[in-house]
Structure 1
Amino acid sequence: MNQKNYRNAGRHPKLDPTVYRCSVNFNAVEQSQLQAMHEKSGVESLSAFIKLQLFGKPFKVFYVDENSRIFIDRLSDFNAMYRTIGITYDRAVRELEGHNTSSRSSAMLRELVKVTGELVKVSHRIVELAEKFDAEWLQKYR
């Protein structure tokens, strides 16, 4: 009866703990090369990057082109504008049909349809430019 009751509280022990450590010394040039390789790899910790290098596990390097990022951001902005225009278009049609005579509302709807056609042409042109951009620039990084 002298046994103590221990609770199973706290963290569960790891099955394969990493307890063995190695130390490596670099000069300034080697350290800058290591940092550059680490930044290119995109791996979060330097120790994980060194493990990947030592044991030959492959990693991917992602290149972020600033021009393509800006282009994609602007395309996203256009998409947001189109959604806003679509919502406004629905509201405008409801208002035209509700508060005007049928002849006046049909004339205004014709104008609205004409402007919408121009918007569709612009959107097709944007898609063409995006495909052209993809063919010329983004294929270089793949």
Structure 2
Amino acid sequence: MADEKRTKRKKTAGRKPKKDPAVFRYSIKFTSEENGRFEILFQKSGLRYRARYIKMKALDEASKVIKIDPATTDFYIRLTNFYHQFQAIGNNYNQVVKAVKTNFGDKRAFVLLRKLEKETVELVIVSRQIVALINEYKEKYLNTHLPD
């Protein structure tokens, strides 16, 4: 009778049993050259565990490698800031032209708008230099051409 009570009790201690307890293990051997290539590919994958990387490659799951270049990110942020500054300049330009036309006579408005036009030409030159620098950066540092 004591044996029946012991068998009816639930086990409360220990680890919970797995749903699929079958585990199959495989081993592979690499030469030093193969191991070097494997380590490089593993690090590029961004995974934390080598076993998951091997399983992913063995079962033909697609792997994605995402590279984040801090210099390119910084360049993009600064370029975005330039864009916002040019938008602000464009808004201010329209407001200035409207204010000059409404608040000043024709002669005075003409003189002021002439000065504004000279500054605008300088701004166009600077914007062209920025575009040239962007194109130079793309050619030198961004890998726009993917290998076949």
Q: TM-score, normalised by structure 1?
A: 0.65
Aligned with residue 122 of structure 1, among 123, 126, 140 = 126
The question of 1:81 aligning with 2:99 is answered no
Using the alignment, how far apart are the partners of 2:86 and 2:127 within structure 1? 9
Q: Which has the higher contact order (CA 8 A, sep 6+)?
A: 1
- Compared CA separation, residues 125 and 23, structure 1 to 2 (3 A): farther
Using the alignment, how far apart are the partners of 1:23 and 1:108 within structure 2? 83
Using the alignment, how far apart are the partners of 1:98 and 1:20 within structure 2? 81
Paired residue total: 114
Letter in structure 2 aligned against 1:89? Y
For structure 1, the residue ranges without an aligned partner over 5 or more in a row are 1-18, 25-32
The question of 1:59 aligning with 2:63 is answered yes
Using the alignment, how far apart are the partners of 2:89 and 2:54 within structure 1? 51
The Cα shift of 1:97 comes to 0.4
Aligned with residue 138 of structure 2, among 134, 137, 140 = 134
User: How big is the alpha-carbon RMSD for the aligned residues of Structure 1 and Structure 2?
Assistant: 3.3
Paired position in structure 2 for 1:70: 74
CA offsets 1:41-98 (integer angstroms, 9 cap, x no match):
367xx99867533412232212111111111111110000010110010100010000
Q: TM-score, normalised by structure 2?
A: 0.62
The question of 1:101 aligning with 2:102 is answered no
Using the alignment, how far apart are the partners of 1:139 and 1:125 within structure 2? 22
